[in-house]
Each structure stands twice: as structure tokens, then as C-alpha cells.
Amino acid sequence: LDGRIHPTRIEEAVEHAWAHVNRAILEAGEQAVLETGVTGLAPELVRLLGQLKYRTSFGQNVLKHSIEVSHLSALLAAELGANERLARRAGLLHDVGKAVDHEVEGSHAAIGAALLREHGERPDVVRAVELHHEESAPDMLEAVILMCADAISASRPGARRETLETYVRRVRKLEEIAQRFPGVEKGFAVQAGREVRLIVKPDQVDDLAMAVLARDLARRIEEEMEYPGQIKVTVIRETRAVEYAK
């Protein structure tokens, strides 16, 4: 109260903060279980799920990703005639290993399977989680469904932040493809790789050839690259005449 730092007060504040975080973790885990309709989880697994609220993977919140994978797995299982309840449960728990992978050696799939086994989870759920990153060949349909749902959620446009290296590689690839065509003077990838602009040599590419060039480049990009959304192709042809009045 007098403005000085008291060790006892610091300890009380830390304890209060820990209690608040632990409550938030438990509430997040319980909400995830409620939202997905998964029942009968061990309390420790619910808490570990809640910890995923504070874990991200390439910018994607891991708890939200797990909930999404649970729903997608159930939908795919229903369409394919697989065990829907198993797929839903494995989908929710598939990344639980990420809650402790900073403390334990091994892949998050193996860590997650060990945690599930330790807390009495069903063997088929443990097996699906263990296989979801193809560390060994999947031997059950629900494991393949989980792999597909995981990939769909992760690759959804905007779900994950793109790494700088991947972004630079895509931009360079766009410009390299553009430069292959005859008559192109310069090629630029703009708008974060969502558009490529070509400046052509006016004495080599006429107005009719511009349209053909734009179509051919768009087709080449479709064949050679993978990208979310669409990429706009713009061809620019400019002729200048300059004279000076003296």
C-alpha cells in the first residue's frame, strides 16, 4: 500500500494468477468436451485439453484445431460407415501430446498416445492418435480419417500463419515461371504472391499475343504450383516515344 515491493505480496499475486490460469484451463477443457459431445474423459485429460488453449501451431490455436478435427472426423466417419464415436473422440484428443511436448522427449503423437494409455483411454483411440502422423502404417480406417481431418483443418486457407521461408519460395517461384516466356522483360510477384505482373517487350509481343501470354502463364502456374485461393496474372505492354523541343 505504501508503494514498496513486499515479497509476501508478490507471492500472493503469483498464487492468485496461477489459480486464475488453472481455472481458465479447466473451463476451456470442459467447454471443448461439451462442444464435441465427448464423454467419460479422465479429469487429467480434460485439463491437458484446456492447456492447448495456450498452445499454437503456425499461428493456429491447437485447442480450436482439435475441436475442428473432432467434428470433421465424425462427419467423415459417418459418410464412410466407420465408427463415428471413435473418430470424434480421437479427433479431440489427437494433439493432447502438445500440452507437454516441451517437457517430454518424443513426437507429440507418441507422447499423446502414452498419456491416453496412462489415463485409461480405450486402446482403439490410443492407436488412432498414435498413427495420425504416419509414424507407422495405419491399420484402421479411423486413423486414416483422423489423418485426413487433421490435414483439412491445418491446410484451410487462413488457418495457419505461413512461414517466411515458404512465402519467399512461392514468390520466387512465381517470378521464375514468369521469366521463362519469350518477350518478357520483367516479372514481378505482388500483393503477397496473389498477383504476378509481366512487363513485355513491345517489339516482340503485340496486343493479341498479350492475351495468349496471360492465359499460358496462368495455366503454367496451375500446373506447377500449389497455393490457396487464386493468383491474378497481369500483362503490361507499353510503347513510349520521346522527343525534345529545343
Backbone φ and ψ for 233, nearest 5 degrees, come out as -115, 120
Q: List domains and CATH numbers for the chain.
A: 7-155 (1.10.3210.10), 164-237 (3.30.70.1350)
Please compute the mean of the pLDDT values over residues 60-87 and round it to a whole number: 96
Q: Residue 77 and residue 203: Cα distance in Å, rounded?
A: 60
pLDDT score, position 158: 66
pLDDT score, position 134: 78
pLDDT above 70: residue 3: no
- This prediction's pTM: 0.66
Q: Which residue has the cell 516441451?
A: 102
Please compute the mean of the pLDDT values over residues 207-214 and round it to a whole number: 93
pLDDT band at 136; cut points 50, 70, 90? confident
pLDDT score, position 157: 67
Contact 86, 77 (CB under 8 A): yes
pLDDT score, position 162: 63
pLDDT score, position 8: 80
**Nine-digit cell string for 33:** 468436451
Please compute the mean of the pLDDT values over residues 184-210 and round it to a whole number: 90
